[in-house]
Structure 1
Amino acid sequence: MTTLNTAQHGSATWRLIMTECTLSVRDKVGPLWGIGFPLILLIILGNVPDLREPVDGGGLTYFDLYVPVLILFNLAILATAALPVTLAGYRESGVLRRMRTTPVGPARVLAAQLVANFAVAVVAMVLFLAVARLGFGVGLPEHLPGFALAWLLAAAALLAIGLLITALAPGRGPATAIGTVLFFPMMFFAGLWIPISQLPPLLQGIAHYTPLGAGMGAFQDAYQGVFPSAWPLLTLAGYAVGCSCLAVRWFRWQ
């Protein structure tokens, strides 16, 4: 009997995950803004000759730096828009409250949403690396295990931030407002508009303490063939653990 109940719960969870993945695609925020827009931007930037010049006489070009930035762009969109707006909308419409009366439970909805957004992030990361490599000759990160670890920690940190936004926002409108306020400064410190190395010293110091600035630092280490240094990895892990704990503490089902 216990085995049967476990199998039924597993089947229900899997169906819920597939449903949330389908809804995420239909919602278009993650696929369109998280994958489509940065992919188009990647192709445009790849055709700008000036961006193929080396940065500070080093081995990386400006375009090389934009590839990991756009990977972080995808994670930021998922964290500040797709995940919190969807879950806050579920709370606003009473879906989470009603799920508490079913055997599935609302916690599985959160887990399914996390899996769906993680899947979108994986697709985006692989797609961006493939397009940059096959279309513009940008090499893969020289230290692939280090890059994989940095990406996993960045994904965990950003998705935890998305859960925290969900915990704080009572509905879709506030979730959108909080996400928008966070998105642009996070992307600034990731080097979307100006490479981090060209920022004033004060802003460079601040960037190291931000999730995307730390992610970019870890990515650059991996691209240069070395395992990411401890500080950016610890910073990302700190955001992942800290924001997750706060989200659990403040999360409201209704």
Structure 2
Amino acid sequence: MSVTTTAAPRATGSRSGLGRLTVTELRLFVRERVGPIWGVGLPLVLLVVFGSIPSFKEPQRDFGGATKLEIYVPVLIAFSIALLALSSLPTVLAGYREKGVLRRLRTTPVGPARLLTAQLVVNVAVTMVTVIALLVVARVAYGVALPKQPAGFVIGVLFAAADLQAVGLFVAATAGSGRTAQAVGTILFFPMMFFAGLWIPIAQMPGPLRSISHGTPLGAAVQALLRASAGHWPYGWQLLVMAAYALVLGLAAAKLFRWE
């Protein structure tokens, strides 16, 4: 009886401690303003800009009759996921390590691992809010249809968030400082977004570039979201590519991560 009695309060305390820490990290995220502006605001601004271009609302033969705006909504979702995972997450964690926050937490009941969990929860939660906002604005303001395969779309978003968070954690694990993490994240962001179709839609890329796009985290993510938007389940290879990045880089980050 004594074992059961003491274990329950510890578990409850652990959960409540994680909850308080997550709320604190969310408040810091909002207070800094950079994360909300870039991770949430910028994709919405780009959606408004693209939605204001008449040619983006015309059906395109290259896209199977879909409009450019319908093609770009999944791209902007990937854009938001990448911004948060490659800019916010590694910069904050590497900055905490540089300032000795993680080292000090190791001597407290909170522990640095719980802080890491709180950061992941905040980033995934903000990602989901942004995805919903993009879908709602695209639907209400520009008549873009909601995903015709919603379950497949949600799975695609979750896989995309997982593989990009793993990339961000790997950057945080190997970067020596917050500035280095930010620089590395920025360097990774632009080629990833290129192969996700931000500048040239994947369907219009030359064959070799399209093949490379298939093997990138965001390229596979965007193509999975496009299939779900059109009413189909993502291809297995698309989910496999994202899962591979999440697993390999997640394990590498766990092995290489330095608390101090």
TM-score by length of 1: 0.98
Distance in 1, Cα, partners of 2:34 & 2:256: 25
Aligned-pair CA distance for 1:12? 1.1
**Partner Cα separation in structure 1 for residue 40 and residue 13 of structure 2:** 34
Find out whether 1:23 has 2:28 as its counterpart.
yes
After superposition, the C-alpha distances for 1:26-53 in whole angstroms (9 at most, x for unaligned) are: 1223311011011011011101001112
Give me the whole-angstrom Cα distance separating, in 1, the residues matched to 2:9 and 2:230: 51
Equivalent in 140, 143, 154 of residue 137 of structure 1: 143
Which residue identity is paired with 2:183? Answer: A
1:187 to 180, 187, 193: 193
In structure 2, C-alpha distance between the alignment counterparts of 1:153 and 1:111, rounded to whole Å: 17
Partner in structure 2 of residue 216 of structure 1:
222
Amino acid in structure 1 at the alignment position of 2:112: P
Candidates 169, 178, 198, aligned match of 2:184 = 178
- Which amino acid in structure 2 is aligned with residue 61 of structure 1? T
Partner residue of 1:5?
10
1:63 aligns with 2:69: yes
Q: Which runs of 5+ in 2 are unaligned?
A: 1-5
Q: Which residue of 1 aligns with 2:247?
A: 241
Q: State the superposition RMSD in angstroms.
A: 0.9
Find the aligned partners of 2:29 and 2:7 in 1 and give their Cα distance: 33
For the residues of structure 1 that align with 2:47 and 2:38, how far apart are their CA atoms? 13
Deviation for aligned residue 1:98: 0.3
1:29/1:81 contact within 8 Å kept: no
The answer as to whether partners of 1:79 and 1:161 remain within 8 angstroms in 2 is yes
What count of residue pairs does the alignment treat as equivalent?
A: 254
Structure 1 residue 89, shift from structure 2 partner: 0.4
Q: CA deviation at 1:224?
A: 1.2
**Aligned mates of 2:15, 2:231 — CA distance in 1:** 41
Deviations 1:70-126 (A, max 9, x none): 100110001110000000000000000000000110000000000001111010000
Identity, % of aligned pairs?
A: 51
1:59 deviates by 2.5
Q: Distance between the aligned counterparts of 2:178 and 2:195, measured in 1?
A: 26
SS, match of residue 185 in structure 1? helix
Q: Could you tell me how far apart the structure 2 residues matched to 1:3 and 1:226 are?
A: 44
